[in-house]
Each structure stands twice: as structure tokens, then as C-alpha cells.
Structure 1
């Protein structure tokens, strides 16, 4: 870890759920970690928790709208001024709208829902990638990990169309970044979690989750720390030849043909 101790990692959606566990895992591995969220309460809670565990000097937490170009520019500008340009970016932020009866049927999706999901799950990732790649090029090192979903790998069982489309598009974003940036020591990979029990996925005993577990060959749900461990491996210096990969972490729910 000698070369990595001073590295700065940004985890979008890093204040709750999988993102918070990724932030915790990277801090434990010796990185300084920056997180942001639209929710001030989430930011303050995550900042307090992580600072208590790892020291406030290793945490940079701000309230920012991931879909707002100016907000993202300001966040990365302040981060770079206070610490240094990040060499690790984990694009984890995402939303998956549900109604009382689950995801809205395709014909019932309104433009407001569609635009919000695309702006957060896809456009936000693009804006963050734009904000960091030049610094990575100049430093000759970079790791970008996009967090997709098993829902975008096969036939979606629970997620709505907006979510599935946004997560599927992340794989296209990853492919588009490979050619122009790989020769500069930058890798771009995508991880596709299956059913991981977090606040977004709901109770393990909900009807949709009980049905989901029957589709998972491992016969259990995933844990946020398992996703975090995978991400931590991918952003390390020893993972430089893993590039352009989609790595499934879903207990066997999706098996490529």
C-alpha cells in the first residue's frame, strides 16, 4: 500500500448503503475518501461515523447534487484545492423508484421519473468521470469503477425500466472511456451487484426479496461489504490489467451464456 496511502478516492452515493461501505473499506485500506450526497442529513451522519472510525482528516464530505454540472465542478474543485486531484472514482450513486406495488409499469413511466433516474444514475456518472480524467491523465494513474446492476445484465425481475436503462448505459460509458484513457494508466471497470440488502432493497423478508432469493443459486443475499471488497481490489495498483471488465457479484443469479 506504500504508493496508495496518499491516494484520494471519491465515492458517489457514499453516505449510505453500498457506497458507505465502499468508503469505509477504502478508508480501512489507507485511502483518503471524499463522499457527497444531496441529503445534508446523510452527509452529516456519514461524516460523523467515518470520522469517528478513521479520523476527520481522512474524510471530505459535502452536500451536492450529482446531476448538477456546476455543483459537481465545485465539489471536485474544492476537493482538489484542499487535498489533491482524486485518482480513484467509484460511481455508485443511483436511485430506483418504486410505487406501492413495486416498479411503475413501462407505459406508466412519466418523463419526470425517467429524466430524474437518467440524470442521477447515468449523467451524474458521466459528469464525475469528466471531472477526474484529466487529472488522472496528468498523474499517469487512475481507477474508475462504475456500479451497475444485475437488472441490466438479463431480464429484470424487480427494477423498473428507467433504472434498468440507466444501469445498462453505464456499460456503454465504460467502453467509451477505454480507448482514449487506457494508455495513461487508467482503468475503467463495471461491477454488477445482485440482491444486496441495503435500505434501497428493503427488508430481507419482503415478498420481492423472498422471491428473489429463490433465483439466487447461492441461496442468500449479498452483503455491502462484499461489494466493497471487490471495488477495493479493482482500484488497487495491482489490478492495472483488469480493464473494461464487467464483474458480476450476485451469487450466480446471472450467468452469461
Structure 2
């Protein structure tokens, strides 16, 4: 991506896990990156570490609620005022509620849990895409990557009903965006990670992760950078003919025909 000097990217959910690895990876490509997260502690920590490596002038970090449209609008207005409207959007924000015994059984999922997960995982993605798409169409270039999950691709083993449904919905949103951006050198793709060693996945030696490890042909859990590397390629000009695709990053745990 050295042929994309000073492009501007937004990474939703960029303060931890896959999102943070993506921010770091894009900064390495001479891209200015604005990111946000829900935890102010995570956002401040991520900004401090990234600023040392990439320079504070290349980073914008904010804490906000992705379910609040007004906060999303203000964030993108700030990015545009500081640099420009983003050419690249990566939506990595997401929640997967679990209790002491794991995900809520389907028959016990409350409307409140269901609505919150859809609001963060799907509606937040929609709001961010609405913010950037007109600019991308106007300038004739754009890259959008939505972060889904293997849980939205096959029979779920770990994730709860609300999370699985939300990640499946991102496939539909991807197709809608492809249709609505046709003819403007804009690509919209979905990355579907498998079991990745993040805070959301819990301790690597947990019973759940040990069971997942036994199913992964490459013999290890994924790392956030594994997913970030795939995202970095999809937002590059080299991937300009990949559009509407789902890229599975799961070590072979799920290999669709």
C-alpha cells in the first residue's frame, strides 16, 4: 500500500483486539487513522502506544457510543475537519454477551440483549457506512471492510444467538453496499475471523479455547494481526477487483466449498 500516501482510514472498535491490530497495520502503510472505542481506558492506552510508534499527528482517537448516531456524525465531522473524509472504513466494533456459563441459551435471550447486540454489531456498521459512502462515491474511490465471524458462517459452537444473527446480517449489509456503490471504484468486503486470541475469546488455555484449538488444522489459535493482515490487503489498491467477498481467516476450522 505504499502507492496510497496519506489516505485516511477510520477503524470502528480500534482500541483493542482485531481493531487495534488493524489500526497499527494501517499506520505502518503511511495512512492516517482515526479510531474509536467504548472504553476510555482502552482508547487512551492504545493512543499512547500507537503515538510513540507512528506519531501523534497520524492518529485520532475518541471514546464514543456507536449506537448513538449523533456521536458518530460528530466523529466523522471531526475527522473531515482535521484531515479529510476517510477513504477507508473498517468496522470491527462488536459485542458478544456471555455469562459465567457462556452465551445465553436461545430461549433465555432477552429483548434487551438482542437489541443491544444488533445495535452495536449491525446498526453501528450501517451508521458508519452511511457517513462515508457519499464521500467515497463523490471522489470515485473507497474501501470498506466489515468484520464478521465464523459464527455467522456455519453452525455456531460458542457464540450466542444475538451475536450469530448480527454477524450473519453483515453479509447482507455487504451486498447492499456493493449494489449501492457500483461504478465508483469502491469495494466492500467481509472478513470472517475464526477463534482469535483476544480479550473477547478469554484465556488461551480455557476449556473453550482448548476445544477450538483441536478443531483448527494449522494447530494454533489466530492472532489479531492475522486478521489485520487480511484487512490491510483488502483496503489496498491491489485488491481493487475483490468486491462483495467473504474472506475466512480461521486456520481451516471452517472451509466452505
Residue number in structure 2 paired with 1:95: 95
Q: CA deviation at 1:2?
A: 5.1
Higher deviation after alignment, 99-108 or 177-186: 177-186
CA distance in 1, matches of 2:113, 2:131: 26
Task: Give yes or no for contact 2:33–2:60 (8 Å, CA) kept in 1.
Answer: yes
Task: Give yes or no for contact 2:2–2:29 (8 Å, CA) kept in 1.
Answer: no
1:158 matched to 2:174: no
CA distance in 2, matches of 1:240, 1:182: 13
Residue number in structure 1 paired with 2:122: 122
Residue number in structure 2 paired with 1:109: 109
> How is 1:1-257 mapped onto 2 (pairs within 5 angstroms)?
1=1, 3-257=3-257
CA shift digits 1:24-46 (9 cap, x unpaired): 00001111000001211111111
Q: Which runs of 5+ in 2 are unaligned?
A: none
**Cα distance, 1:28–1:2 mapped onto 2, change above 3 Å:** closer
Partner of 1:74, secondary structure, is helix
CA distance in 2, matches of 1:201, 1:2: 33
CA distance in 1, matches of 2:3, 2:64: 30
CA distance in 2, matches of 1:44, 1:32: 17
CA shift digits 1:8-64 (9 cap, x unpaired): 011110000110000000001111000001211111111111101100000001111
CA distance in 2, matches of 1:145, 1:232: 10
Structure 1 residue ranges, 4+ long, deviating more than 4 angstroms after superposition: none
CA distance in 1, matches of 2:67, 2:95: 12
CA distance in 1, matches of 2:108, 2:181: 40
CA shift digits 1:108-139 (9 cap, x unpaired): 11111111110000000000000000110111
Q: CA deviation at 1:182?
A: 2.6
CA distance in 2, matches of 1:103, 1:49: 33
CA distance in 2, matches of 1:212, 1:57: 40
Q: Which runs of 5+ in 1 are unaligned?
A: none
TM-score (normalised: structure 1): 0.98
CA shift digits 1:77-117 (9 cap, x unpaired): 11101110100000000011111010010011111111111
**Cα distance, 1:77–1:39 mapped onto 2, change above 3 Å:** same
CA distance in 2, matches of 1:161, 1:113: 10
Partner of 1:4, secondary structure, is coil
Q: CA deviation at 1:68?
A: 0.6
